[in-house]
Structure 1
Amino acid sequence: MPSLRSRALSAALVATGRRRRFATAEAVRATVARSARRPASHLPPRSLGRVAEVSRTFVGAWPVYDASPRGAEPVARVLYVHGGAFVDELVRPHWSLVRTLVTRARARVVVPAYVLAPRGTADRTVPVAADLLSGLIESGGAGGTILLGDSAGAGLALAAAQRLRERTGAQPSRIVLVSPWLDVSMTHPDQAAIEPADPVLARAGLAEAGRLYAGTLPFDDPRVSPLHGSFEGLAPLTVFTGTRDVLSTDSRELLRRARAAGVEVEWHEEPGLPHGYPLLPVPEGRAARERIVELVTAAADPL
């Protein structure tokens, strides 16, 4: 049974029409058009600078933020890939999670503000993400590196891990996926039954966002939809999902395919919780964030 606070938040999301942004393909195209005219900021909040040393570099066209504990040596590394259906920038809940990792896990957190669709397509985006992951691993050894992503960012993170495995066989110590979007086709037969209860997402808009991200690639290309890639040789996985998330089908398919390939999977499925619940200010979200902090701390090694 979901907590009272989480039920209230889900009701508020429904009442405010949060799902309208993904209700139709036209709604997503309108969002993209608005962003082209007036790009949203991906800058971290000023409050992060009170607890973290924050710097920014550029990898090609990507601004990449680097946050480390202020006045202390980091003991672990995290590459965090944000969600937003490949069409939305970093927002406050993403930066709040970064703050938690910096302050609670004493982690150095690298956060790419990757180029959004339709300019940023999978064929261009996945190799750069794999490069960032490779560089972070090589900077101090795989033992202290966690790859973390939420929603679309979780799909990009998994595709980057698959790409890096194909290149060199290297992997982070663990891959943590929050409400991952792993198949942009939105054709799983169970999604139709889940969609009416989802207070955040809808299939039509997601399919359009996926089309923009795919570019010229087919939907089942693993760079676009890593659920169709190989799971052999991947790092251990931790997956968080909720049953009121239309994308929970991707998480369940991931669980089945990864375990069939011999990959260790730590599984968290919360009844009645919506998409991205580990980023939300609800008891279940706090518990999920505590577990992520534990995983990062467990991966720590001297840098």
Structure 2
Amino acid sequence: MPPKKLSRLLSVFSACATLCACAPINVINALTPGTTYHSVTDVAYGAAQRLRLDVYVPAHAEASSTKLPVVVFFYGGSWQSGDRAEYRFVGEALASQGFLTIIPDYRTYPDVTFPAFMDDAAKAVRWTVDHAGVFGGDPRRVFLMGHSAGAQIAALLATDERYLRHAGLTTRAISGVIGLAGPYDFLPLQSGTLRRVFPEAVREASQPIRFVTGREPPMFLGVGDTDRIVEPGNTVRFAQRLREMHVAVEICHYDLGHAMMLGAISAPLRRFFPVLQDVAAFVKGNERRASDAGCDTSERLTVEETASSR
């Protein structure tokens, strides 16, 4: 589609959201089909009330002769907000590509500060490894994906192994990482609120770029060149560091802003942008199986019977 026509389309989309007095994300979800997946919602993965997740199972997954790749998606929100229900369009998008998708909530500021939400994220990954098989997923092909603050969480899980180890895993349990519009090298902090989210005593430990050792799984980093929220240099510098340490990394530039880096994968918009296509190609090209050493299976969690299905 020519740029002018696409620009007009996005303007109309935004105007519709304004006229409906609702956020664009709600419009996207309203236009998201429900035929490509079925979901299991409100599953507990930890003791805290906030630690719940939703599972998106590709339609007809039971007919597949092979287990499905698994993607755990962490949403953004400046580590201060977010709700997994708002990301149904992400679950649908990834399920439409044949990926079992897990979208967890995690605790945010002011209820907690860094690194508490990292511990939550590691618990969600552990739950996924333990339970993916129940839904037809392959626990040896688990990918981490995040947008914005969620990309920082995914990247830090893969670079600073302490969080996964505390959950009984290692980075060998991760087949790859997908980061969209992520902050990976964002010190010094300019915001007073963010200085409270990341207390000074642990602030340096929040930077994924500082933990790259060369043992990380392959990474796909998508960057919006017109991003005004997260400086695109975060992705460029992180990719350069990964390459210096001989980690397989693919960096893709898009003429998109911060929110649209994720919105572009939604059903109404993905025909105009290749983001979902690129993410799917990365997953399908890196389906290496994690070694048994990546998973400590001595503990097993139980899915609550209260989980609802649709």
User: Considering the TM-score relative to the shorter chain, is it more than 0.5?
Assistant: yes
Q: Secondary structure at the residue paired with 1:54?
A: strand
* Match 1:75 to one of 65, 68, 75: 68
* Residue of structure 1 equivalent to 2:20: none
Deviations 1:130-168 (A, max 9, x none): 232244345566642111101000001111223437733
Tell me if the contact between 2:270 and 2:276 (Cα under 8 Å) persists in the aligned partners: no
TM score, norm. by length of structure 1? 0.70
Distance of 1:182 and 1:13 partners within structure 2: 31
Deviations 1:213-241 (A, max 9, x none): 214644322xx222222342110000100
Answer yes or no: is the 8 Å Cα contact 1:64–1:112 preserved in 2: yes
CA pair 10-250 structure 1, distance change in 2 beyond 3 A: farther
CA distance, structure 1, for counterparts of residue 85 and residue 8 of structure 2: 20
Would you say 1:268 and 2:270 are equivalent positions?
Answer: no
Take 2:199 and 2:5, find their aligned partners in 1: how far apart are those partners? 40
2:51 is the alignment partner of 1:54: no
Going from structure 1 to structure 2, the CA distance change for 1:93 and 1:119 (only over 3 Å counts) comes to closer
* Contact 1:81 1:154 (C-alpha < 8 Å) held by counterparts: yes
Please say if 1:211 is aligned against 2:200: no
1:120 paired residue number: 112
How far does residue 260 in structure 1 lie from its aligned partner after superposition?
Answer: 0.8
- Per-residue deviation, 1:4: 3.2
Letter in 2 for 1:262: H
In structure 1, runs of 5+ residues without a counterpart are 16-40, 188-203
Q: Does 1:279 align with 2:276?
A: no
In structure 2, relative to structure 1, the CA distance for the partners of 1:159 and 1:108 (3 Å cut) is: same
Paired residue type of 2:4: L
SS across alignment from 2:92: helix
Pick the structure with more helix per residue.
1
CA contact (8 A) 1:127 1:160 kept: no
| Residues 164-188 of structure 1, C-alpha deviations (whole Å, 9 max, x = no match) | 377334241110000012234356x
RMSD between superposed Cα atoms in Å: 3.7
Structure 2 stretches of 5 or more lacking a match?
A: 16-25, 290-310
Distance in structure 2 (CA, Å) of the matches to 1:160 and 1:240: 18
Q: Deviations over 1:177-213 (max 9, x none)?
A: 00012234356xxxxxxxxxxxxxxxx5xx3443232
TM-score by length of 2: 0.68
Q: How many residues align?
A: 255
Task: Rate the CA distance shift 1:47–1:243 in 2: closer, same or farther, 3 A.
Answer: closer
Distance in 1, Cα, partners of 2:279 & 2:285:
10
Per chain length, whose mean CA-contact separation is higher, i.e. which structure has more relative contact order (CA < 8 Å, sep 6+)? 1
Residues 1:75 and 1:163: Cα distance change in structure 2 (over 3 Å): same
Match of 1:85 in 2: 78
Amino acid in the other structure paired with 2:177: I
The alignment partner of 1:110 has SS state of: strand
User: Whole-Å Cα distance in 2 between the matches of residues 72 and 185 of structure 1?
Assistant: 43
Q: Following TM superposition, by how much is the alpha carbon of 1:275 offset from its aligned partner in structure 2, in angstroms? A: 1.3
| 2:125 aligned partner, one-letter code | L
